[in-house]
Amino acid sequence: MKNLLIETASGSYPVSVGRNIIETELIKQVNEIKPSSILIIADAAVQSLYGERLLNALSHFYKTEVFVVPSGEEYKSFQSFYDIQTLALKLGLDRKSLILAFGGGVIGDLAGFAAATYMRGIPFIQLPTTLLAHDSAVGGKVAINHPEGKNMIGAFHQPRAVIYDLAFLSTLPVHELRSGFAEVIKHGLIGNADFYHWLTSEISVLDDLDDEKLQHMILEGIHVKAAVVKEDEKETGVRAHLNFGHTLGHAIEASEGYGKISHGDGVAIGMLFAIWLSGKIHSLSLPYEKIKNWFKELGFPVEVPENLSSDALISRMLKDKKSHSGTITMVLLKTIGAPEISPFERDQLRSLLETWRQE
Ligand code: NAD
Ligand code: MG
pLDDT in tens, 35-49: 999 999 999 999 999
* Pocket test residue of 48, 132, 214 for ligand 1, highest count of atoms within 8 A of CB: 132
Mapping DSSP to helix (H, G, I), strand (E, B) and coil, where does residue 103 land? strand
User: Which pLDDT does position 118 carry in this prediction?
Assistant: 98
Residue with CA nearest ligand 1 atom 32? 106
**263-282 vs 346-358: helix crossing angle, rounded to 10:** 100
Q: Whose CA is nearest to atom 39 of ligand 1?
A: 136
The confidence score (pLDDT) of residue 321 equals 67
Using DSSP bridges, classify how beta strands 2-8 and 38-43 pair: parallel, antiparallel or unpaired: unpaired
What is residue 92's three-state secondary structure?
A: coil
What whole-number distance in Å separates Cα of residue 176 and Cα of residue 174? 5
How far is Cα 154 from Cα 111, in angstroms, rounded to an integer? Answer: 11
Q: How many angstroms is it from 248 CA to the middle of ligand 2?
A: 12
Q: How far is CA 175 from the centre of its chain?
A: 15
Indicate the top mutation candidate among 43, 73, 127 to test ligand 1's pocket, ranked by most ligand atoms within 8 A of CB.
43
For the chain, percent of residues with pLDDT exceeding 90: 91
Nearest-ligand number for the alpha carbon of 249: 2
86-91 long-range Cβ contacts below 8 angstroms, 24+ apart? 87/39, 88/39, 88/114, 88/118, 91/37, 91/39, 91/65
The whole-number pLDDT of residue 87 equals 98
Beta strands at 338-345 and 327-335: parallel, antiparallel or unpaired: antiparallel
Question: What ipTM score was computed for the predicted complex, to two decimals?
Answer: 0.99
The ligand placed nearest to the CA atom of residue 184 is 2
Q: Which residues of the chain have pLDDT under 70?
A: 321-323
The minimum-distance atom of ligand 1 relative to the CA of 76 is 32
Pocket of ligand 1 (CB under 6 A): 43, 45-46, 49, 71, 73, 76, 103-107, 109, 129-130, 132-133, 135-136, 139, 141, 151, 168-169, 171-172, 176, 179
pTM across the whole model: 0.96
* Residue whose CB lies within 8 A of the most ligand 1 atoms, among 71, 138, 177, 232, for a mutation test: 71
